């Protein structure tokens, strides 16, 4: 926890610590770098960095009281005083989920799995239009990005941002989903990892924090409604800009 001037409002930054390879479990590395850069700054709000385990043991860690089926739900159910805003508790005004960074795109080509030269599409859930705008502003200056933003979904919401959304916390939840996401290999999938891309993505998350800090709570607003009903627009925006690797 990095305490801010306002100790009644929090921003949650979360990821899972367990995974199968260097891409699936690298969110905490970015979070540690974010903490290092933020720890000596004057913050308006208190920032909670939540490192959860159990992402691969969800039957043992999920908790419906904390928003459903991902491991962060257990943390939320156990520590309502840090986010729900009830009975003098802290109120989480926004959440950032950091998962699966620095992914090069590999696809099957003529029976072989090969690098395409592109970066993998960044799937990102945004809790409302304000958070969506924050996300796209944070991408400015990036040399490598291929992304799509989605509305949260009560049944088909992937990643550790799902409990935030179900708990009414406006989210920006990055959950890149390459074909090899859960592969177990001797290389730990290092050949599919791009450290420069991960650095750019980490800088984007820092920009998101700075942008959220500058917005009043009332202007951030709450989460959009569920996107379950037929005809509801799930995809918000698509953006392509990347350097093709030769």
Residue-wise pLDDT for 43-54, tens only, equals 999 999 999 986
User: Between these two residues, 211 and 187, which has the higher pLDDT value?
Assistant: 211
Largest CA distance in the chain: 60
Q: Which value, in Å, is the radius of gyration of the alpha carbons in the chain?
A: 17
Nearest to 174 by CA among 61, 86, 98, 73: 98
Mean pLDDT of the chain: 87
All domains in the chain, ordered by first residue: 6-241 (3.40.630.10)
- Answer whether residue 128 shows pLDDT above 90: yes
Q: What is the mean pLDDT of residues 24-49?
A: 96
Give the total residue count for the chain: 246
Asked if 75 and 54 touch (Cβ cutoff 8 Å), the reply is no
Which of these ranges, 51-55, 63-67, 74-78, 131-135, has the smallest mean pLDDT? 63-67
Give pLDDT, residue 70. Answer: 77
Return d(Cα 46, Cα 85) in angstroms, integer. 13
Return d(Cα 206, Cα 47) in angstroms, integer. 12
Give the neighbor-by-neighbor strand order of the sheet with 45-52: 45-52, 6-16, 91-99, 171-175, 122-126, 145-150, 235-241
Q: Residues with Cβ < 8 Å from 30, sequence gap 6 or more?
A: 15, 98, 101, 198, 201, 202, 205
Return d(Cα 182, Cα 146) in angstroms, integer. 21
Structure tokens at 10: 């929090």
Residue 68 DSSP label: B
Which of these ranges, 131-135, 136-140, 229-233, has the smallest mean pLDDT? 229-233
Cα separations in angstroms, 211 against 35, 46, 152, 183, 205: 16, 15, 21, 35, 10
- The model carries a pTM of 0.88
């Amino acid at each position: 926890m990095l305490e801010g001037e306002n100790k009644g409002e929090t921003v949650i930054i979360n990821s899972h610590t367990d995974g199968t390879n260097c891409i699936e479990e690298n969110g905490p590395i970015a979070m540690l770098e974010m903490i290092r850069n933020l720890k000596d700054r004057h913050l308006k709000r208190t920032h909670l960095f939540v490192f959860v385990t159990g992402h691969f043991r969800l039957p043992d860690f999920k908790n419906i009281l904390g928003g459903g089926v991902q491991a962060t739900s257990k943390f939320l159910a156990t520590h309502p005083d840090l986010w729900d805003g009830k009975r003098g508790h802290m109120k989480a005004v926004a959440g950032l989920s950091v998962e699966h960074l620095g992914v090069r795109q590999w696809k099957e080509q003529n029976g072989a799995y090969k690098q395409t030269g592109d970066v993998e599409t960044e799937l990102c859930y945004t809790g409302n239009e304000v958070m969506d705008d924050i996300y796209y502003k944070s991408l400015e200056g990036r040399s490598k990005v291929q992304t799509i933003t989605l509305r949260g979904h009560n049944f088909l919401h992937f990643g550790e941002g799902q409990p935030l959304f179900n708990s009414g916390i406006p989210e920006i939840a990055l959950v890149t989903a390459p074909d090899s996401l859960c592969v177990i290999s001797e290389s730990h999938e290092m050949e599919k990892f791009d450290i420069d891309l991960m650095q750019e993505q980490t800088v984007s998350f820092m920009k998101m924090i700075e942008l959220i800090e500058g917005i009043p709570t009332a202007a951030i607003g709450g989460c959009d409604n569920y996107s379950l009903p037929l005809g509801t627009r799930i995809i918000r925006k698509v953006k392509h800009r990347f350097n093709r690797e030769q």
